[in-house]
Amino acid sequence: MPALSPVIAPSILSADFARLGEEVTNVLAAGADWIHFDVMDNHYVPNLTIGPLVLQAIRPIVKAPIDVHLMVEPVDRMIEMFTEAGADVVTFHPEATPHVDRSLDLIAKKGAKPGLVLNPATPLSMLDWVMDRVEVILLMSVNPGFGGQSFLPHVLEKARRVRERIEASGRAIRLEIDGGVKVDNISEIAAAGVDTFVAGSAIFGKPDYAGVVRAMRAEIARGRGDTVAI
Ligand code: DX5
Ligand code: ZN
């Protein structure tokens, strides 16, 4: 199966919330592909972030896909609210819902692309009976809850194994990674088979978004072994 084009998805968790509209506009103008939208409920994770009203507020100014990462428990009611607010991709943690199948089906029924998120210690067996239905597999490379943590290197091996499963499925499933992704590790992450890269503090923490996105793209191409015109 041909490799999917790389996607850079800045996480607005590290954006300046006092200027959120401007921040998402600027990061997309800087060349980012998706907006990653982290939803935390102070229950599934020990932090509290943003709800569907915020998604609704930025939706008209964001032409790019919005990737909603639900760190909430339970998930189904939030799936309804965020798909109605305009999410394009919705991912959730399988241990946070009693019926994984039903939650995946609900996302698809509401017109968004469904995906599962695996924490660093969550086994790949979670994927056993859903490979025909997921559009995205998101591997956490930090424990969820906070931006600015360090990348856990064992997740590279996990990514290689998920890549094998995706190839075996014959489906164009995106392999996404989230947590501690930086310019200086993104090439080895790409080499492990990841095609969709969430980055919060590496982009929003920096003065030159376009410079970081450009450097990330060059490093991703290097990791994939692509030849690029400079
Ligand atoms: C962590 C969130 C991430 C976070 C990544 O629970 O899911 O999306 O914003 O932030 P960085 O890139 O700073 O690790
Ligand atoms: Zn996230």
> Mind listing the pLDDT tens digit for each residue in 97-144?
999 999 999 999 999 999 999 999 999 999 999 999 999 999 999 999
Pick the CATH number of 7-224 from 1.10.4190.10, 3.40.50.970, 1.10.540.10, 3.20.20.70: 3.20.20.70
pLDDT (0 to 100) of residue 1: 76
d(CA 230, ligand 2 centre) in Å = 31
Q: Read off the pLDDT of each residue in 163-186 and give the average, rounded to a whole number.
A: 98
Among 20, 85, 24, 50, CA closest to 209 = 24
Q: How far apart are CA 216 and CA 172, in angstroms?
A: 23
**Percent of the chain residues past pLDDT 70, beyond the cut:** 99
For ligand 1, whether the C-beta of 147 sits within 6 Å is: yes
d(CA 229, ligand 1 centre) in Å = 31
Q: Which atom of ligand 1 is nearest to the CA of 203?
A: 12
Q: How far apart are CA 128 and CA 187, in angstroms?
A: 28
* Catalytic (active site) residue 178: yes
| Burial category of 27 from C-beta neighbours within 10 Å (exposed 0-12, middle 13-18, buried 19 and up) | buried
* Catalytic (active site) residue 38: yes
H-only helix segments in the chain? 20-29, 52-58, 76-84, 100-109, 155-169, 186-191, 201-204, 209-224
pLDDT band at residue 228 using 50, 70 and 90 as cut-offs: low
For ligand 1, whether the C-beta of 144 sits within 6 Å is: yes
For ligand 1, whether the C-beta of 10 sits within 6 Å is: no
Residue 65: pLDDT over 70: yes
pLDDT (0 to 100) of residue 230: 58
Residue tagged active-site, from 33, 67, 88, 178 = 178
pLDDT (0 to 100) of residue 2: 81
User: How many CB atoms neighbour CB 25 within 10 A?
Assistant: 14
Inter-residue contact 190 to 163 (CB < 8 Å): no
Tokens read off for 149: 């943590």
User: How many CB atoms neighbour CB 167 within 10 A?
Assistant: 12
